[in-house]
Structure 1
């Protein structure tokens, strides 16, 4: 599932002095791999539910999401230890957080170590840490536990981004870009980690929208190293981060509605979400592209690294922007292989963008591109970037 190692990539371009670049990618997953065709029976068995109507509805959703496989922390061992997680209406937020806090730290450490290994420099060269998650809550935050798990210096400067949802990965990348460009010589480790256990619930006719999440979301972690002025012969820039912006759409706070309750997090996605994104994505892209004189005429010459919130969002973007099917192939592959893994997924998409660009490395197109994600707010996160591997 994707390029397991991009350390062999040879940059054919020189990075712009002072501009932040992504220098390495890493990813990690829990042990449980779930096949989509087996999900329905397993989910209803684990939650002791035999509602044929809900089962049929979930079966339909599992087909429409286009997901084929995804990784999850949830296991028979966890349900055996915490059977209350599969029951309706019990206060289980403490149990969920106990599981999630440990799980996301473990995955983030594994993704961070994989990323640092590909980067090729000592871990002591990490100066800053940006940590992103919508799956845990504690004080001190997961950034401190991650720093300790990696063995980072106590002088490492940390930034914590909680509950940014699907836009969190690109939000973290925007923050890491600012740090890298304003602290010469710095090297920023961006890590994201998510698990759906925080919102795991039994099926209920009162909450039919829960089934969308069951059919769509997955668990995992991702990591990137970001820094400016790559060291020649040691660091190999993958993407140069030219311009980053964030916009929110007023009066859309309830379109993506997440609430922490005594039963964990409850999410509700409004049916209007894909349409709202479609209506505003062109203007948002125009703001980014205009900084270097690109226009909608350049869409077909660019790469597109779009967080795959779901197939409907990708379909509407493709139609509105008149993109060739291949332009969103990396996003669709990430969705198919990992599901929507919230903030992590942009790492998996970028990994596929690199894999596909290596196959076309003699082509001039796809140097410039957009890294996009959409999250609660509704918030648009976007970065105009250069692919340094083509």
Structure 2
């Protein structure tokens, strides 16, 4: 059913060929006589057809190819196990830097860490390993520069692209936006050309990675024969919450250092060496609703300490925004059979039995791989349940959360790197990247593999892949009260 047009077109062409094979000499002479008598009309028709075809080809969106991407792998001395984190927090607390009011909050943090789905080898930036903590601008800048410069440097090395070839640069970091900007840092470091179209996206949450891809895609539709460099990261150093608000402490337990660099191209000659082609991007923003706008915010607590607040409306807002995104994406990617089932159920529910549940399309008929933002264990669990996915479908997301934690907008790229490293990406496979973020936003990007994809050099999983997947044994009775 996914190839309905081709299935209908092929018999038609066969029928025309069979009919033509039975034409007699007299029929051919009659046809030639008709052409000679109507030469002017046929010429006008042919020219119009040629012009129409040319206009159609010129107006079609240019294909956007993902040539390669790289993910930042922090040095081993930045690893932070749960035991090491809690020991360091106690030392910081004793030094008076972080005045936690009670041992209850310490126990709460430890419990969240143990149930978060994060493993023992996630990474924290250098400033948070120090005693006392160094959360100044210099250390924040050092963290982000290390991440984005290393990721971009690996990407240039793997692709052989010269920095002077980059025509478009899009960088996203939600909460850390110094002056000069992060995009300016990359322009200066790699000596990018003066005419580069650079953008710096801030305050857009964990879904900004897809937004950056969509922005780069739009620019590639305008600028011919161009390369676009997309860089996604988040800063942890300056975003460690040092207060006593219980709900604001949750973000400390989830977010970890990470970043990714992606090279896109609209050059037709790059199709042969590119890994993927961008098929769709769908962006949904429900910020016009007050509850959506206020469900995830950065603000000061009652003591004036800045941190991230997650409201009680977050699960409801996330579910509603996700539903809108899926409803928009579904008609673009699902086979006709699934659209038909959905329509039949909709009619039955509307006119026959209002108690019927909505039909949940089988998205595994549209995608072979799922890269669900590793925002937390509960988010991945809910996506697995609501979309009727299998543990294998969400393995990349769970293992990314376990190995690297929530790296914000770059997490979907660590997941794609995991799938490549496992050797599962075959030619023609379709990939769904989906991420949610403050605002509130839910964004999707769809890719198709142009070949059997092998992991690139410096894949972040190459040193630990033999240990994955790992079992994440968490008491199912705890899930109902899971705050993440």
Q: Settle same-fold status: TM greater than 0.5.
A: yes
Question: Using the alignment, how far apart are the partners of 2:395 and 2:330 within structure 1?
Answer: 21
Deviation at 1:255, TM superposition (A): 0.6
Number of the residue aligned with 2:461: none
Number of the residue aligned with 2:171: 131
Question: Using the alignment, how far apart are the partners of 2:251 and 2:128 within structure 1?
Answer: 20
Q: Map 1:93-108; keep pairs closer than 5 Å.
A: 95=136, 97-108=137-148
Number of the residue aligned with 2:122: 70
Query: Please, which of 270, 273, 279 is the counterpart of residue 314 of structure 2?
Result: 273
Number of the residue aligned with 1:300: 364
Number of the residue aligned with 2:424: 359
Question: Using the alignment, how far apart are the partners of 1:241 and 1:260 within structure 2?
Answer: 40
Say which SS state the counterpart of residue 265 (structure 2) adopts: strand
Number of the residue aligned with 2:250: 212
Between the two proteins, the alignment pairs up a number of residues equal to 356
Relative to structure 1, is the Cα distance of residues 77 and 312 closer, same or farther in structure 2, using a 3 angstrom cutoff? Answer: closer
Say which SS state the counterpart of residue 327 (structure 1) adopts: coil
Relative to structure 1, is the Cα distance of residues 361 and 241 closer, same or farther in structure 2, using a 3 angstrom cutoff? Answer: closer
Query: Please, which of 265, 272, 275 is the counterpart of residue 238 of structure 1?
Result: 275
**Residue-by-residue CA offset, 1:317-344 (whole Å, 9 max, x unaligned):** 1111111121111111111111111122
Question: Using the alignment, how far apart are the partners of 1:308 and 1:331 within structure 2?
Answer: 5
Query: Please, which of 55, 59, 75 is the counterpart of residue 106 of structure 2?
Result: 55
Select between 306-315 and 295-304 the one with higher mean Cα deviation: 295-304
- Do the aligned partners of 1:282 and 1:321 also contact (CA within 8 Å) in 2? no
Deviation at 1:77, TM superposition (A): 6.8
- Do the aligned partners of 1:246 and 1:379 also contact (CA within 8 Å) in 2? yes
Question: Using the alignment, how far apart are the partners of 2:193 and 2:419 within structure 1?
Answer: 33
Number of the residue aligned with 2:394: 328
Say which SS state the counterpart of residue 253 (structure 1) adopts: helix
Q: Map 1:144-159; keep pairs closer than 5 Å.
A: 144-159=184-199
Deviation at 1:178, TM superposition (A): 1.4
**Residue-by-residue CA offset, 1:136-164 (whole Å, 9 max, x unaligned):** 23333121112111221222210110111
Deviation at 1:297, TM superposition (A): 4.1
Question: Using the alignment, how far apart are the partners of 1:346 and 1:171 within structure 2?
Answer: 13
Deviation at 1:360, TM superposition (A): 6.0
Please list every run of 5 or more consecutive structure 2 residues that lacks an aligned counterpart in the other structure. 1-59, 339-359, 453-484
Select between 164-173 and 175-184 the one with higher mean Cα deviation: 175-184
Query: Please, which of 133, 148, 153 is the counterpart of residue 113 of structure 1?
Result: 153
Question: Using the alignment, how far apart are the partners of 1:388 and 1:260 within structure 2?
Answer: 48
Structure number with the higher strand fraction is: 1
**Residue-by-residue CA offset, 1:29-76 (whole Å, 9 max, x unaligned):** 444111234322222222326732112111210122100132121446
TM-score (norm 2): 0.68
Relative to structure 1, is the Cα distance of residues 289 and 119 closer, same or farther in structure 2, using a 3 angstrom cutoff? Answer: farther
- Do the aligned partners of 1:181 and 1:227 also contact (CA within 8 Å) in 2? no
Which of structures 1 and 2 has the larger relative contact order (alpha carbons within 8 angstroms, sep 6+)? 1
Q: Map 1:162-201; keep pairs closer than 5 Å.
A: 162-201=202-241
Are 1:248 and 2:300 an aligned pair?
no
Question: Using the alignment, how far apart are the partners of 2:247 and 2:133 within structure 1?
Answer: 27
Are 1:369 and 2:431 an aligned pair?
yes
Deviation at 1:187, TM superposition (A): 0.4
The higher radius of gyration belongs to 2
Question: Using the alignment, how far apart are the partners of 1:73 and 1:105 within structure 2?
Answer: 12
- Do the aligned partners of 2:68 and 2:155 also contact (CA within 8 Å) in 1? yes
Kindly report the root-mean-square deviation, in angstroms, between the aligned alpha carbons of the 2 structures.
2.7
Relative to structure 1, is the Cα distance of residues 146 and 135 closer, same or farther in structure 2, using a 3 angstrom cutoff? Answer: farther
Relative to structure 1, is the Cα distance of residues 30 and 240 closer, same or farther in structure 2, using a 3 angstrom cutoff? Answer: same
Question: Using the alignment, how far apart are the partners of 1:278 and 1:240 within structure 2?
Answer: 29
- Do the aligned partners of 1:192 and 1:344 also contact (CA within 8 Å) in 2? yes
- Do the aligned partners of 1:24 and 1:116 also contact (CA within 8 Å) in 2? no
Question: Using the alignment, how far apart are the partners of 1:61 and 1:77 within structure 2?
Answer: 20
TM-score (norm 1): 0.83
Deviation at 1:103, TM superposition (A): 2.2
Deviation at 1:109, TM superposition (A): 0.9
